Structure 1
Amino acid sequence: MTTPADRAAPGPGIPEAVHRRRWAILGVLMLSLLIVVLDNSILNVAIKTISTPAPTGLGATQSELEWAINAYTLVFAGLLFTSGLIGDRVGRKKVLLGGLVVFGIGSALAAESGSPGQLITYRALMAVGAAFVMPATLAVLMNVFERDEQPKAIGIWAGGVGLAIAIGPITGGLLLDHFWWGSVFLINVPIVVAAVALMIWLVPDSRDPRPGRLDPIGVVLSVIGLVLLVYGIIKGGELADFTDPTVLATIIAGVVVLAAFIVFEKRSDHPSLDVTYFKNKVFSAAMAAIALVFFALMGVTFFSVFYTQSVRGYSPLESGLLMIPLAAAQMIFAPRARLVVDRFGYKATTTAGLVLLAGMLAAFAGFDADTPIWVLEVAFFLMGTGMAHIMTPTSVVIMQALPREKAGSASALSNTFRQVGGALGIAVLGSVLSTAYRDSIEGKLGMLPANLRGTAGESIEATLGVAEKLGPRGQALVGPANDAFLHAMHVTSLCGTVVALAGAVVVAVFLPGRTPRRPENQEEPELVAAAD
């Protein structure tokens, strides 16, 4: 049965054949997005198994595990902007296909890693592929849907992120129950094969019809600046000390290089990034909102895993199942957020979403070791609801603020801000968590030998690990460790609350009440090439 939308004639830039299969194309794009997001969430479940000595795992140290995660984040964030530019220039379908193939190869190699060093290397290779997949999916979406259907399509796209967040930990737990640790990476390969086949069949190619000259200096400056900045953030969180000279020097160097990038782009007659985009207060506010949301969300997700597993005693699979309400809310409400925007406007919808998110972050400050689990589930569901009413509207604002031919650049910028915000959230809020925990537990470690006190004070996992090695004598540390962590979680959640409220203020001041209007007489260029 056809719907009125299906019967509607396509716009001047979209051939009829592409218009008819636009929803099938969206399904393929979501499948491509699924593996990129799923891989991040699925690895969290496998961390403990990978740290187990061979043959069960790789015997990875805590530092090696962190870099297995951080290598992906570092490369992914560093290449996002460049990948969007390449997609606009050479074609988004080509970039998507190439990114998927590289991601699949990296996944297969990671599954067969023989050492932590190899795993870190192959995770970085996976990130190269993912960096080319993520922005291209949204850019293609903007290209095959007309402007009036874009909010609905973006909402469904955002709901797909929620689906991946939900099934990642569950899939990882099930795989680890029946197979070896490498299966959490190998599962990507058949998904990649299916996505590539469907993409070749269904997805049209598109590019910027007027890309201009190459800007190699701008591209190099953007990559170096982003890598230095994200590396400094990650290192600061790892050391729980952002005043460390190496950390400060790296972050400052990253900021200086990015500043040089902006100055160079302003003076260039063929810039990679038209910095005048950011003169648009609506565009800039939406970017800031996305960064602040992921700052708060990633930091809370980080400490909630320790709360459910270390304090509450749930298994990795059970911990993953507890996250279902958060993901379910995104899946339910993200596709429908456009209806709320239609009625109340961007400003009211997004501000309300951020206030709701801030309230749920604040709720964590009241959780203790025996808080009824249904309360946690309600908090997760409401967090997901808030996220759905933030992500969809801000993504629509960002993507519609720029011309369609710049969709790759807009998507890449959005994802870059998201990744840098998330990295900052994990690093900064992780540092707050570590510092608060260490300050709270130090006075309880007097019973330990001097050489163990430093190690035991690093985290709740470290304290519980030392307690387990001490046997019955170590049981006296379990209660203080839980109390110290809960205190640290309360402090950290309140910091996240402040950040979310800051985001609410930004969008309340700068986002429009209704849909931003494209300037009159500005036509959409014809970008989509119909498939044979």
Structure 2
Amino acid sequence: MSSTSVDHSGAPARPDVRPPAPGRLRSNPWLTLCAVAFGLFMVQLDASVVAIANPAIGADLSASTAQLQWVTNSYLLALAATLILGGKLGDRFGRRAFYLVGVAGFALASVAIGLAGSIEGVIAFRALQGVFGGLLMPNTLGLLRAVFPPRKFAMAVGIWAMVSAVSTALGPIVGGLLIEHVDWESVFYINLPIGVIAFAFSALVLPQSKNSTGHHRFDVPGVVLLASGLLAVVLGVVKGETWGWASGGTWGAILLGVLVLVAFGWYETRIEHPLLPMRLFRSSALTVGAIITALNFFVMLGGVFFIMLYLQNVRGFTPVEAGVRTLPLSLASLVASPLGAALTQRFGARRCMPVGMLLQAAACFGMLTWSTDSSYATMWPPFIALGLGVGMVMAASSDAIVGNAPVGDGGVAGGLQATTLQIGGALGTSVLVSVISAEVGATLRGELSAAGVPGTVAAGLAEAKDAVAMGVAPVSGSMPAQLRAAVVEGSGQAFMNGMHTALVVTGVLCLVGVVLAAVGIRTDSADRSH
């Protein structure tokens, strides 16, 4: 079989899902949903807990700011490079097997992080965590796609999205409690009992699920091209705030990655068994769903990042107190994900995705009323709107991507969805931090002067714009009380200027998403193949 022959059939490989006879554990799709929910919960909880743990890791291991960034970046890079590959491996050789390998490997890598004893070890094992996460995540959706009938798949995805949203939102509370009462290592050790339960239960109930494709050459060049392109793009994105968004390094990495991805797309059309079948993108619902997924997590993760800075550094709440105050967001996501799935099943993604993006836009514009001393009454309504919007979009876009892919490509579609999710989240955090930093740099000196800080002192403190962009006022114990209060007031106002600018950016992007979802999806189910 030639490796450069063109796939003229356009037909997906025949799925091979062989559960035991009815009445056995592995014949129950809802038990499959419960099993993959354990693994998904572990990965998503870990992703949001680490942000809370970073300061403690830095203090204990004497890590520099650049090293702490790599605690997050090494994970993101490894995850982005392996998600689609993990889905393809599951489709080809067995989704159950690769999901179980991902669960076990993720849990063990988590323990290794806690035992590492050095920042270099933490970074290395975080990258390994990302690799196993790339095996685990896409196969959760691939397994659901294989076992649920079309009429129930949307509801299953809604519950999947609910688990994802709630575990992400619970991260700051769980992480804050563990760091305050145990140590930062416990943030990673907690994955071991979750992983053991997930592995044991999944081994018992998950059905065998893979494609019957016969013997053919695995697309190794496609793996190399895709991994290289994604690594370059994500590297440029996550380092954009550090290198500068106008720097040659940032745009060189991003443009190189885009060119490699274009070459990957061209190559995939030339082989018979591609890693990522380009025919998937013939579905307008799948294509738009992937874009909206990236936009959804741009808003969600970028927004939560600066909301936590506001609550902890500007308002002075502890991580646990800040997490409790964001509970309306978690609870709204809990409601919105299954509700969004039910609405998607009834009305289609073309109607539900715009509604979800409108709710997020309303949340962003509602947060423009926040100040350095806003009451909680002004906070919880935007939290609810954001949670409802994110949950609805997550359910609708997941159904649009995985539901519109053939069953045989369920793992690859899951990998595509997870990849766009991760890139969107990385972009959201990096771009919005840069937006806040730029606005703080432009307004800090003026705000300090307006608060009563003498001109020469304000000029000197303006050099601390990076700290102020994180919500930290550049004060010292030796400052007179009146000057200290003025610096806190001016710095807080400068941060709010940056946060408001970021909110305008996210709000406008949400409105763009409304239009794209409404006009870009021609059908919701015409391309589905079962």
Given the two structures, how large is their TM-score scaled by the length of structure 1? 0.90
Provide the secondary structure at the position in 2 that maps to 1:207.
Answer: strand
- When residues 342 and 273 of structure 1 are mapped into structure 2, their CA distance, relative to the original with a 3 A threshold, is closer
Q: Is the 8 A contact 1:80 1:135 kept in 2?
A: yes
Is the deviation greater in 330-339 or in 89-98? 330-339
Question: Does 2:233 correspond to 1:229?
Answer: yes
How many angstroms apart in 2 are the aligned matches of 1:226 and 1:474?
46
How many angstroms apart in 1 are the aligned matches of 2:407 and 2:508?
35
Residue 36 of structure 1: aligned partner: 43
Provide the secondary structure at the position in 2 that maps to 1:214.
Answer: coil
Alignment deviations for residues 389-434 of structure 1 (CA, whole Å, 9 cap, x no partner): 2111111121121110110000000111111111111111211111
How many angstroms apart in 2 are the aligned matches of 1:120 and 1:13?
40
Residue 99 of structure 1: aligned partner: 102
Question: Does 2:52 correspond to 1:49?
Answer: no
How many angstroms apart in 2 are the aligned matches of 1:170 and 1:73?
22
- When residues 463 and 137 of structure 1 are mapped into structure 2, their CA distance, relative to the original with a 3 A threshold, is closer
Q: Is the 8 A contact 1:463 1:477 kept in 2?
A: no
Residue 11 of structure 2: aligned partner: none
How many angstroms apart in 2 are the aligned matches of 1:112 and 1:162?
29
Provide the secondary structure at the position in 2 that maps to 1:243.
Answer: coil
Question: Does 2:495 correspond to 1:495?
Answer: no
How many angstroms apart in 2 are the aligned matches of 1:465 and 1:144?
54
Q: Is the 8 A contact 2:362 2:382 kept in 1?
A: no
Q: How many residues align?
A: 504
Q: 1:316 aligns with which of 314, 319, 325?
A: 319
What is the CA-CA distance between 1:94 and the residue it aligns to? 1.1
Q: Is the 8 A contact 2:473 2:492 kept in 1?
A: no
Q: Is the 8 A contact 2:146 2:407 kept in 1?
A: yes
Residue 339 of structure 1: aligned partner: 342
What is the CA-CA distance between 1:350 and the residue it aligns to? 1.3
How many angstroms apart in 1 are the aligned matches of 2:69 and 2:326?
22
How many angstroms apart in 2 are the aligned matches of 1:164 and 1:121?
24
Residue 468 of structure 1: aligned partner: 476
Q: Is the 8 A contact 2:314 2:471 kept in 1?
A: no
How many angstroms apart in 1 are the aligned matches of 2:373 and 2:470?
22
What is the CA-CA distance between 1:305 and the residue it aligns to? 1.0
How many angstroms apart in 1 are the aligned matches of 2:345 and 2:35?
27
Question: Does 2:283 correspond to 1:280?
Answer: yes
How many angstroms apart in 2 are the aligned matches of 1:209 and 1:90?
9
What is the CA-CA distance between 1:386 and the residue it aligns to? 1.1
Q: 1:158 aligns with which of 157, 161, 164?
A: 161
Question: Does 2:362 correspond to 1:359?
Answer: yes
- When residues 178 and 72 of structure 1 are mapped into structure 2, their CA distance, relative to the original with a 3 A threshold, is same
- When residues 474 and 372 of structure 1 are mapped into structure 2, their CA distance, relative to the original with a 3 A threshold, is closer
Residue 10 of structure 2: aligned partner: none
**Unmatched 5+ residue regions in structure 1?**
1-10, 525-532
Provide the secondary structure at the position in 1 that maps to 2:211.
Answer: coil
How many angstroms apart in 2 are the aligned matches of 1:201 and 1:18?
7
How many angstroms apart in 2 are the aligned matches of 1:227 and 1:518?
31
Q: 2:373 aligns with which of 370, 385, 391?
A: 370
What letter is aligned with 1:213?
Answer: R
Residue 82 of structure 2: aligned partner: 79
What is the CA-CA distance between 1:447 and the residue it aligns to? 4.3
Q: Is the 8 A contact 1:47 1:65 kept in 2?
A: yes
Q: Identical aligned pairs, as a percentage?
A: 32
How many angstroms apart in 2 are the aligned matches of 1:266 and 1:18?
40
How many angstroms apart in 1 are the aligned matches of 2:212 and 2:263?
28
What letter is aligned with 2:54?
Answer: I
Q: Is the 8 A contact 1:457 1:463 kept in 2?
A: no
Alignment deviations for residues 135-174 of structure 1 (CA, whole Å, 9 cap, x no partner): 1111111112111111111111111112202322111122
- When residues 307 and 452 of structure 1 are mapped into structure 2, their CA distance, relative to the original with a 3 A threshold, is closer
Provide the secondary structure at the position in 1 that maps to 2:403.
Answer: helix
Question: Does 2:509 correspond to 1:486?
Answer: no
What is the CA-CA distance between 1:47 and the residue it aligns to? 2.4
What letter is aligned with 1:195?
Answer: A
User: In angstroms, what is the RMSD of aligned CA positions?
Assistant: 2.2
Residue 90 of structure 1: aligned partner: 93
Q: Is the 8 A contact 2:87 2:414 kept in 1?
A: yes
Provide the secondary structure at the position in 2 that maps to 1:267.
Answer: coil
What is the CA-CA distance between 1:512 and the residue it aligns to? 4.7
**Unmatched 5+ residue regions in structure 2?**
1-15
Superposition misfits of 4+ residues, deviation over 4 angstroms: 11-15, 445-453
How many angstroms apart in 2 are the aligned matches of 1:333 and 1:379?
14
How many angstroms apart in 2 are the aligned matches of 1:486 and 1:495?
14
Q: Is the 8 A contact 1:45 1:317 kept in 2?
A: no
Question: Does 2:218 correspond to 1:214?
Answer: yes
